[in-house]
Amino acid sequence: YYKWCKSNNFDSMLEKDIKVRQAKAQAKEDGILVQKQSQLDGHLRVCVVVVKYSDKHFKQAAIKWMIATDQPLRALEHPKFKEMIDVAASATAGV
């Protein structure tokens, strides 16, 4: 009977099957998801991690910047460069 019902797209009319379908329908009306767990994906978001200022990280970044932009060593001693770093260091939530 079950094989025939499945192959003919027919709902079983046995009493226990009717009760199961009614319970599922009632659960859906009550707002309960039957046999399906909800997901958190829609509620989660990616948070950007802001690295706090430290002398170690600054020195590493400054060396990488100097090499990448072909800057002379004295660029790190320029007053405007120091002013820019002081402004960036005083930022509380990142730059």
Residue 27: is its pLDDT beyond 90?
Answer: no
DSSP 47-80: -PPPPPP-HHHHHHHHHHHHHHHT--GGGGG-HH
- pLDDT score of 95: 58
Quickly tell me which residue has 């829609």 as its tokens.
Answer: 42
**pLDDT digits 0-9 by tens, 56-93:** 887 888 889 888 988 888 888 889 888 888 887 777 66
d(CA 72, CA 20): 78
- pLDDT score of 52: 74
Contact between residue 34 and residue 24 where contact means Cβ atoms under 8 Å apart? yes
- pLDDT score of 86: 82
Residue 41 is classified by DSSP as: G
Type of residue numbered 82? K
- pLDDT score of 35: 56
Residue 21: is its pLDDT beyond 80?
Answer: yes
- pLDDT score of 93: 65
pLDDT band at 19; cut points 50, 70, 90: very high
